[in-house]
Structure 1
Amino acid sequence: MMDYRARYITVRDPSEQDQIQQRHDDSSQSECDIFEEMFLSDEGTSQSGQIHSMDVQMAVFHCADGFLKQLMVTKLSQCQYALPLLVPHPFIQQIEFPLWTFRQINKSWKIRNTNNETISQTQQIYKSKTPMVFFFRFGSVSSSKSQLMNSLINEKHNTFFHRNCPGSSRTRVLMDGVVEIAWYCPSGTNDDKFTDCVAFCNLHGDAGDHEKQLQILTEMSSVNVVLRLSPYSRVLK
């Protein structure tokens, strides 16, 4: 519930799977563990069929009721992870905007006024009016967009899950089209990259395939950052 490493799901080796299978067969009264079943299946252990860690999170989110969704978002915030802001339905593609799940989240930061005095602020994040930076890409790019955003927010912690994180795979399904949001909260020191609280939004997947999310976020954001392949440069920002 509080371990930030919980989303780094990795596939167990075959010998460990055999031991789990034996315990599973011997236990007739225990409830079925969906993760054990996933790891024990041949498809789940192959590289091509490996389930993406963030797909597990989004599968739970789609199946949850309102109270569990709010609890999940609160826990993600406590672990300093990005939060789902726009969530497309996996079947009908209707987009959910679950801003109400942010109601229990408070953010604190420090700014300096014109007299160089430090001012502390604490606000409910869904009510705060902060500038927003929107990152999206067209096509496939060699650099990880999410990893680039992490370097701006927190270099020591993967706020946004990216391709180089443990548990990542090419078989991402439910995360495509999801827009996540995270906040940079300055500490009021000279090391701050931004002088005020700034929201960062990340569209997962090719922006050309998610025009509705692209339209919503480009209109809401203060700054739009586009990553795409260019004949003159590998990555154009």
Structure 2
Amino acid sequence: MAIGILTGSGTYALPGLSTSGSEPVLTEWGEAFVSHGTWGGVDVLHISRHGVGHPRLSNHVTHRANIAALKQLGAQGVLAVTVCGAVDPDADLGSVVCFDDLHFVSNRLPDGSLCTFFTEPGAKERGHWIYESPFSADLRAALLAGTEEAGVPVRDGGCYGHVDGPRFNTRAEIRGLAAAGVTAVSQTAGPETVLAGELELPYALLGFLTDYANGVKEEATPVETLVEMMAASTETFASILRAALPHAAAATPAPPGVVYRFGA
């Protein structure tokens, strides 16, 4: 079975992935564009959230189609990466975080609708996703093993904060997130986490810190630094994912928690 990989800003392709290219996959929730191939000896299903050239901003990402396509194509789990703004002032730019908690209070998709696959009353698959941690322990372990083998220092644990884009956040908004214990923020991984949970598709998330969010430091991170860090994330993520894939494929990962269903 394949491992799904979801990448964001700065990582639009997986270097060395043996594939015929990105192809449309039709789902109940629209089209997703998936590259299917072999990477590091592992069968991989890759989705670039934004697409080559970044045509899709965060408010254009088709989260339900992406997660549904990976499930439909038989992914046994998903390794996701995202560049982030640091909310923790003690975190270093260019460092990596393997998240173990989520702050996504709005629980909304970019179009404003609730972030769920359970949209129809009485549908047999409807249910409540109940969990202690939203991320797969098995896939977190694979990512941590990948960082060790790639020689990349990692923070084991942290709270990912999902924020709506495409704008960045104000100082007041970031203060609120800091008070809630958020470690770093970006604009895409909240819906992925929830939707993967509802489909019982194991999912884990790695972040690369490209800038300090507004108000975290006395001086704002220059845009040039953010762009430089984003470029640096590409090879860092590639080296970690290549090393993590065999661990993920060998793990037969279990989804976090359970989906309590009510039957037909």
TM over 0.5: no
Larger RCO, structure (CA 8 Å, separation 6 or more): 2
Q: If the length of structure 1 is used for normalisation, what is the TM-score?
A: 0.32
Larger Rg: 1
